[in-house]
Structure 1
Amino acid sequence: MKHTSNRRVGVVVAVLSGLALTAATSTAAHADDHTDTRPDVIAHRGSSGMAPENTAAAIDLAIDQHADFVEIDVQRTKDGTLVNFHDCTMERTTNIEEIYPGRPRYRVSDFTWTELRRLDAGSWFHPDHTGERLITVDHVISRIDHTRTGLLAEISPCGHYTDIATDLAENLRNKPRYLRRALAREQLAVQSFQTDDARQFHTHLPHIPIGLLDADRPTDTELTELSTWADQVNPQHTVTDQALVDRIHQLGMDTNVWTVNEPGTMREMAALGVDGIITDYPQSLTQP
């Protein structure tokens, strides 16, 4: 199922836990698209240039700024709760060393959700955000559900996790009503830097669009192989040019570039015909 641009028309039917899900998908070629050429605006960790990343404040601000998607990062606590957090350790954006001094490690997976709920995840950004808490994936979904803003969930590449792609698939599988709405509106996709995680998620929920993140320019061999099962190739904007965008589209995939914060680069990427722009400042693209 191809995703991100709301510019293709078609229908795919998937069965999830015995429930038939009908979702609008895209099948027409990019060359035939003439109705909407604006890239999707994807708020990187929420509106993270204006609020502390991956908090409710950043998610809510992205919604208020009319972002098409919020991009989040999925990690797992010691007791199995899926949490929205980016770094492999928590010192940079929380007061975890103050609350739990002397711990041997400060990874999300070393703490229970009850422990993590005590952390301040906002004061590092600005005193006005003192007291902002970490939030779960479920909390993110509850905030965007019934809005025009969709979800792009990144499976954490932190190497100490196993089966986190399966856990995310199970979490989404247990939300059939949300899935039905999100897929029908083309408001859900998953991405990963790790090919194994992306394929594992795709095996569990093949009807949810799956993308591969890449900091380097993918080779044509890699693109051709990915086109047999992936829906998106999402490269760093610094390695993206017209030839790469055209080749990804030729192979039937979409492309979201990251992380684009300069207005000039935003215009450059839009001119290339990318399907989405991942940015810390979604208002730069959504507001006149």
Structure 2
Amino acid sequence: MGAPEPPPPGAPELSLPGAPEPRPRTVAALTGHTAAGVTDVAHRGASAYAPENTLAAFRLAKDKKADVFEFDVQESKDHKLVIMHDTTLTRTTNVEQVFPGRKSWKVSAFTLAEIKRLDAGSWFGKKFKGERVPTLDQVLSEMDGRGIGLLLEIKSPELYPGIEKRIAASLRGAPSWLRADPVERRLVVQSFDWGSVRRFHAELPKVPTGLIGTPKTADLPKLAAYADQINPPYADLTASYVKKVHAAKLDLQTWTIDDPAAMRKAIGLGVDGVISNRPDVLRRVLQESAARKAARKAAHKAA
């Protein structure tokens, strides 16, 4: 996802003529969906507490009770799938020290063997020294069986022609992430590049997909032909927009919210998921929301 933005379901559905047959709603089926009815998604892992897009951040996301963690996939020079948000390696690794004579620091300018030499943890804190840039295959293997879902973002696909096919191939090699039963789906693939999402959908049509951004509501019916989620920034959220997304039989996850008051507002607008650098804070807010809802229900029954 991009940089953090500034800080109810069940409403009547709007009539959207010409909509395709709806695909299954996905967020509620992800592992560990909260009692509050909202999925807790850890942005690049628990990235407020560990170096983003590393196995340390992904493990910590699980420890902090996230339902899902989001991460970004790009390609090395030799077409290996690596986990990195920026299109250059400078911000989150020591690439300039390890390869001082290189003219480019782009992810695509380095082979996987070279990327594996980089320290992806020290920039964040001394205790993470030696943390490496993981590959997609490592993430799929390491995080399997941990009871947490994946929100995989195809990052800058225009730089990596054919990346959708290679991601699909990696996923086919890890079939436990591709369970056919909708109740057990634990994986969603998303991108800012909606053409990339369409290409991925053609490869693995049963894998739920998300479109990052805020499409026009008039376009939602046709987008529902290959997407299951609309994932807008928090700044774009309105109650009306959330209702129209749901009317098109799509889920909505919003990003990136670290402030509890903003989390409560998003939950009140009826979102299906919240993406946060602080999944533990979001978990507490969701628990509080569920408790208030239960108390209101009990009071209503007693009245």
Instruction: Please give the TM-score of this superposition, normalised by the length of structure 2.
Output: 0.81
Alignment root-mean-square deviation, CA: 1.9
**In the alignment, residue 265 of structure 1 is paired with which amino acid?**
A
Partner of 2:25: 2
Q: C-alpha deviations, 1:91-130, integer Å up to 9, x for none?
A: 0111101101121211111111111111011111112212
> Are the equivalent residues in 1 in contact too, given 2:217–2:245 (CA < 8 A)?
no
Question: Does the alignment pair 1:115 with 2:126?
Answer: no
Instruction: Give the Cα–Cα distance (whole angstroms) in 2 for the partners of residues 168 and 175 of structure 1.
Output: 11
Question: Does the alignment pair 1:254 with 2:251?
Answer: yes
Instruction: Give the Cα–Cα distance (whole angstroms) in 2 for the partners of residues 271 and 143 of structure 1.
Output: 35
Task: Give the helix-richer structure, 1 or 2.
Answer: 2
Q: Indicate the SS of the match to 1:5.
A: helix
Over 3 Å counting, the alpha-carbon distance change for 1:183 and 1:72 in structure 2 is farther
Kindly report which structure 2 residues correspond to 1:1-288, keeping only aligned pairs within 5 A, or say none: 1-6=24-29, 36-157=35-156, 159-180=158-179, 184-214=183-213, 217-287=214-284
Q: Indicate the SS of the match to 1:190.
A: strand
Task: Give the strand-richer structure, 1 or 2.
Answer: 1
Q: Percent identity?
A: 42
> Are the equivalent residues in 2 in contact too, given 1:4–1:186 (CA < 8 A)?
no
Over 3 Å counting, the alpha-carbon distance change for 1:125 and 1:158 in structure 2 is farther
Over 3 Å counting, the alpha-carbon distance change for 1:234 and 1:3 in structure 2 is same
**In the alignment, residue 105 of structure 1 is paired with which amino acid?**
S
Instruction: Give the Cα–Cα distance (whole angstroms) in 2 for the partners of residues 166 and 2 of structure 1.
Output: 24
Across the two proteins, how many residue pairs are aligned to each other?
A: 260
Instruction: Give the Cα–Cα distance (whole angstroms) in 2 for the partners of residues 168 and 154 of structure 1.
Output: 10
Instruction: Give the Cα–Cα distance (whole angstroms) in 2 for the partners of residues 171 and 134 of structure 1.
Output: 17
Structure 1 residue 184, shift from structure 2 partner:
4.9
> Are the equivalent residues in 1 in contact too, given 2:157–2:163 (CA < 8 A)?
no
Structure 1 residue 266, shift from structure 2 partner:
0.6
In structure 2, list runs of 5 or more residues that go unmatched: 1-23, 288-303
Shifted more, 54-63 versus 128-137: the winner is: 128-137
Q: Indicate the SS of the match to 2:271.
A: coil
What stretches of structure 1 move > 6 A for 4+ residues in a row? Answer: none
Structure 1 residue 177, shift from structure 2 partner:
3.4
Over 3 Å counting, the alpha-carbon distance change for 1:184 and 1:220 in structure 2 is closer
Q: Indicate the SS of the match to 2:166.
A: helix
Instruction: Give the Cα–Cα distance (whole angstroms) in 1 for the partners of residues 181 and 161 of structure 2.
Output: 27
Rg bigger for which structure? 2
> Are the equivalent residues in 1 in contact too, given 2:178–2:185 (CA < 8 A)?
no
Instruction: Please give the TM-score of this superposition, normalised by the length of structure 1.
Output: 0.85
